[in-house]
Structure 1
Amino acid sequence: MNNFPSKSLHNAAPRQKEHENQKQETTKSHLQQDSETMSTPSNAAAPSSQPIIKPRIIIHGGAGNITRSTLNPAQYESYKTSLRTILASSADLLSKPGATALDVATHAVSMLEDDPHYNSGKGAVFTRAGTQELECSIMVSSGYRKRGVSCMLLRHVKNPIKLARELLIRGEEDDGGGAKDHCEYSGPYIEALAEKWGLEIVDTSYFFTQKKWDEHMKGLEKEKAGKGEEWEMKNYIPLGTCGAVVLDSFGTVCAATSTGGLTNKIPGRIGDTPTMGAGYWAEEWFEDASQPRTQMLYQAPPSSSLNKLSRGDIPGLLTDCLPITPPRIPTPASTLPNHINNKPSPIRHAVGMSSSGNGDTFVRMVAARTVAAKSRFTPNTSLSKALSWMTGPNGELQKSAGDRWGKVHEGVGGIIGIELVGTKGTVVCNYNCGGMYRAWTEEDGDQKCLIFRDDNYESGPEGWGVLGK
């Protein structure tokens, strides 16, 4: 069950119940038009009973120097158990009627934040000054005016990702609930708003874990002795983030990411997680079809309320009066003139990504947005292909490190993502380092979990610089 504060829903629960059936029927009638050319299995039920877009989810718990020398078998199994638990809970929520990518991604990342296995929320790494400064971001492919929101330098919000979600939703209000229409936030003022909105506030001691403190102290000692780089190569030092990318039945893709940053970063350092286009990205566009197919014209819905219902945005129903340009909704081909029906119809395309690794490299490369742009503007380039070009072995991220590759963590990282083309969603992931904690749902609903390239401990590289299969 989703455990977001009731205040964050803007007291929309009564209206949600009132419109629940209408929302599902409206959404079905709009999205079903996009699937008219899809084949239906002979043993399938009537088309009206089948989901138009199959929801998908992928989560990650970080990438980096994850090898058999830094991760023993017991730790390996512990991480996999954690990832499977979080994925199962999130996939169950995603299966509920009307579930949105925004809510499910927030749910998944909040669970990762609560788990000290990961470098976010409880278990975040320390700065050189012995403090913890949390960062997060969230972005949707369409549906909200801001599209994306990030927070940084947080020290008291228990679940930073819930604050990012709140800022995105409240962006539909005239004054953003006191946060205006900005996309990036930091410091005490925004934490005061979080408390005002009913998000859980904790003392800084909540985020402390002995393991991360020991890593912090040992790193400073080795650095002082001039052996900092050698120590980093021989130990798994949390580099970045945890995150989730979700595709819902409405076709919206949401990317959510949260982190404590780099171990022993200087106070005030900002990484890729809250930098739009660097560590996260989501967008939607429409492409011309290469082959003739049933035509859909995309036009504004008759009312903004209907539009919000079609994308599952219950909180947005309270702000219908805002001057927001609504997304386009397909009109059945039968209502169009014949000379229009003969033209190829536009194909809906959406992507979302969340990254992990050396954040400074991701910032310099504007990695996430560059991957999306390569997929969007290079002919016949899937998101998977573009992502591997950036974060796969010998990819652009690795090349950017030059002769420093393998000596420090520069250029290290990985990205998870989801691509929607028409009504088909595809989960993607690649990385250039020892391993990446990740779990996802297959198209048939099966749940998978990997840390190395293959599903066994022995498939992992023995040490730094030796990639898996």
Structure 2
Amino acid sequence: MPIALALHGGAGTIRAADLTPELEAELMAGLSAALDSGLSILHAGGAALDAVQATVTVLEDHPLFNAGRGAVFNDQGFIEMEAAIMDGALRTAGSVTGVRRTRNPVQLARLVMAHTPHVTLGFEAADAFAAKMGLPQAAPEYFHTSKRWDALQSELARLRAGGSDADVSEQVKHGTVGAVALDSAGHLAAATSTGGRTAKMAGRIGDTPVIGAGTWADDLVAVSGTGHGESFIRCCAAHEVASRMRYMGQPLSDACDEVVYGQLLELGGSGGLIAVDWEGHVTLPFNCEGMYRAAVDASGERIIAIYR
């Protein structure tokens, strides 16, 4: 059986003028390291579920991506992280929201899936469960990056002045990381993690932990989304891809294009998604200026890119 892996690090208004050559190189290196982490598992015959968790963990540990250590701040000046993971073979899933102390929320989502009768766990209870299960915890200082703090201050000032979401850089406003994989046993999995949106209302829950919105995997396809989460929730974006493939017989690229260039835009939502099907086809569509992304499909073709 072929193997395939794709990942994203956020999609939106990514202006070339905002990226110095040094910053762009660091972002590309981070994407490459995450890709290699997941591929090493798949090449060794490992499970897609382990591969997507490892890939997302690398991105959570990287301060330039909006997840884990690089999470953005809400309107009260603290972080609330979210993550989800789903096993396509069994349709088991786990997700967390409102996490503030757990260094790797994707690992916590995996534990919720494996060691509780629930799908989603939130806020203080989620961090307490993580500590009980032995996941590394961190003080607020670990998650505090000057770039994210400065972005919060700028965004709060902009909102007070009556600004809208239009023309706001991805590096400032929002972002998500995610991975999808097909393993050599023919199984699919997806994982997603995010800090949400800069200056979001405290307590806001986005699409990432909503299974079927920002994250989905079954025996046909695995999907992870990034962008304006409310729009992904309103059209059940990730599950819509799977439904179009299962019930309408659409190929992977057509199903994803209909969601990204059709339904999301009709709702005023910007963003993109990554998806891999049971044959190892990979697609990475986005309806905005750019999307941090990397992939290796069943043919072995490797891509790491930001813009079109």
Per the normalisation by structure 1, the TM-score is 0.63
Q: Which residue of 1 aligns with 2:135?
A: 199
CA distance, structure 2, for counterparts of residue 248 and residue 415 of structure 1:
20
* 1:338-380 per-position Cα deviation (integer Å, ceiling 9, x unaligned): xxxxxxxxxxxx211000000011111111111211111113x
CA distance, structure 2, for counterparts of residue 390 and residue 234 of structure 1:
23
CA distance, structure 1, for counterparts of residue 21 and residue 139 of structure 2:
34
The code of the aligned residue for 1:87 comes to: L
CA distance, structure 2, for counterparts of residue 235 and residue 377 of structure 1:
34
Report the structure, 1 or 2, having the larger strand content: 2
* 1:36-92 per-position Cα deviation (integer Å, ceiling 9, x unaligned): xxxxxxxxxxxxxxxxx1111101100000122333333222211211122122211
Report how far residue 101 of structure 1 moved.
0.8
SS at 1:226's partner residue?
A: coil
Equivalent residues in 2 for 1:11-410, closer than 5 Å: 53-97=1-45, 99-143=46-90, 147-170=92-115, 176=116, 181-229=117-165, 232-233=167-168, 236-284=171-219, 350-379=220-249, 381-392=250-261, 395-401=262-268
Report how far residue 234 of structure 1 moved.
6.0
Q: Which stretch of structure 1 is more off in the superposition, 188-197 or 112-121?
A: 188-197
Q: Which residue of 2 aligns with 1:15?
A: none
The code of the aligned residue for 1:387 comes to: C
The code of the aligned residue for 1:149 comes to: G
The code of the aligned residue for 2:238 comes to: A
* 1:241-277 per-position Cα deviation (integer Å, ceiling 9, x unaligned): 1000011111111100000001100000000000111
Alpha-carbon spacing, 1:444–1:425, altered in 2? closer, same or farther (3 Å): closer
SS at 2:70's partner residue?
A: coil
The code of the aligned residue for 2:76 comes to: A
Q: What are the ranges of 5 or more consecutive residues in structure 2 without an aligned counterpart?
A: none
CA distance, structure 2, for counterparts of residue 165 and residue 354 of structure 1:
16
SS at 2:98's partner residue?
A: strand
CA distance, structure 1, for counterparts of residue 5 and residue 273 of structure 2:
14
Q: Which residue of 2 aligns with 1:328?
A: none
Q: Is the 8 A contact 2:280 2:297 kept in 1?
A: no
The alignment covers a number of residue pairs equal to 308
Report how far residue 222 of structure 1 moved.
1.6
Report how far residue 112 of structure 1 moved.
0.3
SS at 2:153's partner residue?
A: helix
Report how far residue 228 of structure 1 moved.
4.7
* 1:390-445 per-position Cα deviation (integer Å, ceiling 9, x unaligned): 113xx2211212xxxxxxxxx1010101101xxx2111110100010000113243
Report how far residue 239 of structure 1 moved.
2.1
The code of the aligned residue for 1:160 comes to: P
Q: Is the 8 A contact 2:15 2:289 kept in 1?
A: yes
- Aligned alpha-carbon RMSD (Å): 1.6
Report how far residue 193 of structure 1 moved.
1.9
* 1:292-335 per-position Cα deviation (integer Å, ceiling 9, x unaligned): xxxxxxxxxxxxxxxxxxxxxxxxxxxxxxxxxxxxxxxxxxxx
SS at 1:414's partner residue?
A: strand
CA distance, structure 1, for counterparts of residue 64 and residue 38 of structure 2:
18
SS at 2:137's partner residue?
A: coil
Q: Which residue of 2 aligns with 1:413?
A: 271
The code of the aligned residue for 1:358 comes to: H
SS at 1:153's partner residue?
A: strand
The sequence identity of aligned pairs, in percent, is 37
Q: What are the ranges of 5 or more consecutive residues in structure 1 without an aligned counterpart?
A: 1-52, 171-175, 285-349, 402-410, 454-469
The code of the aligned residue for 1:96 comes to: A
The code of the aligned residue for 2:252 comes to: L
SS at 1:237's partner residue?
A: helix
CA distance, structure 2, for counterparts of residue 233 and residue 212 of structure 1:
14
The code of the aligned residue for 1:416 comes to: I
Report how far residue 192 of structure 1 moved.
1.7
CA distance, structure 1, for counterparts of residue 192 and residue 170 of structure 2:
24
Alpha-carbon spacing, 1:234–1:354, altered in 2? closer, same or farther (3 Å): closer
Q: Is the 8 A contact 1:71 1:236 kept in 2?
A: no
CA distance, structure 1, for counterparts of residue 133 and residue 120 of structure 2:
18
The code of the aligned residue for 2:106 comes to: I
Q: Is the 8 A contact 2:85 2:106 kept in 1?
A: yes
CA distance, structure 2, for counterparts of residue 360 and residue 239 of structure 1:
12
CA distance, structure 2, for counterparts of residue 194 and residue 251 of structure 1:
31
2:283 to 415, 420, 428: 428
CA distance, structure 1, for counterparts of residue 56 and residue 265 of structure 2:
27
The code of the aligned residue for 1:391 comes to: V
The code of the aligned residue for 1:226 comes to: G
Q: Which residue of 1 aligns with 2:307?
A: 452
CA distance, structure 2, for counterparts of residue 357 and residue 69 of structure 1:
20
CA distance, structure 1, for counterparts of residue 42 and residue 77 of structure 2:
38
Q: Is the 8 A contact 1:240 1:262 kept in 2?
A: yes
Per the normalisation by structure 2, the TM-score is 0.95
The code of the aligned residue for 2:181 comes to: V
CA distance, structure 1, for counterparts of residue 22 and residue 153 of structure 2:
24
Structure label with greater radius of gyration:
1
Alpha-carbon spacing, 1:235–1:80, altered in 2? closer, same or farther (3 Å): closer
Report how far residue 283 of structure 1 moved.
1.2
SS at 2:172's partner residue?
A: coil
Q: Which residue of 1 aligns with 2:294?
A: 439
Q: Which residue of 2 aligns with 1:14?
A: none
